[in-house]
Amino acid sequence: MKRALSSFIAAVCLATLPTAFAGAQGGVQIARAQAQTRLSPHQIQPQQFHVYQSRIYADRRPIHLFGLNWSGLETRDRAPHGLWAGRSLQDYFAQIKQAGFTAIRLPVSPDVLDDSKKVADWAQEAGYGPTGLKMLTQTVDAAARAGLWVVLGYNGHDSKVSGGDAPAPYARDGSYKVEDWLNDLARMAQFAQQRHYVVGIDLFNEPHGISWSEWKGLAERGGQQVLRYNPRLLVFVQGVAETRTDTAGYGAFWGSNFVEARRRPINNAMIPAHKLVLSPHVYGPDVYMMPYFKKAGYPLNMPAIWDAHFGHMASSNAVCAGEFGGKYRRGTKDANWQDAFVSYMNQRPGMSYCWFYWQFNPNSDDTGGVLGEDWQSLNSRKLSLLGRLKSAAR
């Protein structure tokens, strides 16, 4: 049954691939489409998102996902952080759009798929909610009205815990099973059915307590579930960390490690290649001081490490950094890391066309945000840094 269903999904998706991608005329039509990469969700309502030659397309048109993460929906607040500052969702999203970004990634928990879980008082006082599902709907619809594409990221099964307490898409005590996760992915995919501006679903945030072998099997099941309920979407799959997994001899950030994916790739019978986006999360010294950040010659040693962990996949897959960032203070190792990583992405197929910086809101202790601590101004240095990616992609 699974084989038949995955074959059906693959056939449906392949049938909708643009004819420009077959035959001698393909290059001509793709070249013509390059000029349309700045189109927003208002201008097109795609029937299919898909990957071709490491790029993401909405039907026949290549699109750029120059994105920011905006956290809060995945927490007990069940609302994007900053609505307490007297600004509306529409005001924030307009600011993001005007700064040149084209997409937003929203980490979520199952609580925001529930129409009985209440959002934080400050969100209700600002006129939002009152439930998690209504808050999610209000947020993604406001993003679309601003002309932004949306990626939804499954962050963890319990909004009261995160990070080290959520190392896999199931609970060790059995209180949340793989089947529960698959059901929640189905709900996310169904939520996106009538929202053409939702590009894809990121299956799970930073699986660091399981091996690549285990995660690969789970991701295949999760991706198949997403496509079963919404074959229009892309499936974003993160890497792992270090648990029972080859790291090529370098410490790996949670979600960054695709070393074993070269010899044990995602099964394209489960997630077709034209629906798959590999999405590493990778950080610098502001988040954790890896030993290689202290080596002589740093940061010139970093491209080889990034190549080993995920860059080696970029020539044959869409690779989209789902999280990267830091405080980017002048003269620091972290600033050196971010400068080097932006240069690295500009030199790898497709990576400058799809990325999501962590994060928009400033209340992250180890990275800060693109938005200033006054919840009004934007960090001009970070905008300049990310502008190098946007300029190279165009």
Specify the pLDDT at position 162: 59
- Report CA Rg, the chain: 20
CA dihedral 137, 139, 145, 151 (to 10 degrees): -90
- pLDDT tens figures, 69-112: 999 999 999 999 999 999 999 999 999 999 999 999 999 999 99
| pLDDT above 90: percentage of residues in the chain | 83
Angle at 343 between CA 211 and CA 286, to 5 degrees: 60
The conformation of residue 359, written as its DSSP 8-state character, comes to: -
In our burial notation (b when 16+ CB lie closer than 10 A, e otherwise), range 136-162 reads: bebbbebbbbbbbbbbbbbbbbbbeeb
pLDDT for res 207: 96
| Beta carbons within 10 angstroms of residue 116's beta carbon | 8
DSSP β-ladder status, 318-319 and 61-62: unpaired
With CA atoms as reference, report the closest residue to 71 among 158, 152, 128. 152
Rounded to an integer, the average pLDDT of 248-265 is 97
Calculate mean pLDDT across residues 166-177.
91
Alpha carbon distance 4, 68 (integer Å): 38
pLDDT, tens digit (0-9, with 9 covering 90-100), for 11-25 = 434 334 433 333 333
pTM across the whole model: 0.90
Spatial CB neighbours of 294, under 8 Å, sequence gap ≥ 6: none
For residue 380, give every residue at least 6 positions away whose Cβ sits within 8 Å of its Cβ, in sequence order, or none.
Answer: none
Q: How far apart, in whole angstroms, are the C-alpha atoms of residue 182 and residue 224?
A: 9
Neighbours of 386 (CB within 10 A): 23
Q: Chain centroid to CA 5: how far? A: 26
Active site annotation includes 323: yes
Q: Please report, as a single letter, which amino acid is at residue 255.
A: G
Read off the pLDDT of residues 318-332 as tens digits, 9 standing for 90 and up: 999 999 999 999 999
Backbone angles phi, psi at 51, to 5 degrees: -110, 135
Residue 255 has pLDDT above 90, yes or no: yes
Which tokens in the block code for residue 343? Answer: 């240069």
Out of 74, 206, 220, 260, the active site residue is: 206
Looking at residues 147-158, what average pLDDT do you find? 95
Report the pLDDT averaged over residues 47-70.
95
Q: What is the pLDDT of residue 17?
A: 44
**137 is written with which tokens?**
């709907």
pLDDT in tens, 121-151: 999 999 999 999 999 999 999 999 999 999 9
Give the model confidence (pLDDT) of 178-193 as tens digits: 999 999 999 999 999 9
State the chain's mean pLDDT as an integer.
90
How far apart CA 88 and CA 84 sit, in angstroms, is: 9
| pLDDT tens-digit readout, 366-383 | 999 999 999 999 999 999
Helix 302-309 vs helix 333-346: crossing angle, to nearest 10 = 60
pLDDT of residue 158: 83
List 74, 220, 260, 323, catalytic entry: 323
Structural domains present in the chain: 2-9+36-393 (3.20.20.80)
Q: Given CA atoms 184, 189, 193, 198 in this order, what sign does their dihedral have?
A: positive
Q: Give every CB contact of residue 304 below 8 A, 6+ residues apart in sequence.
A: none
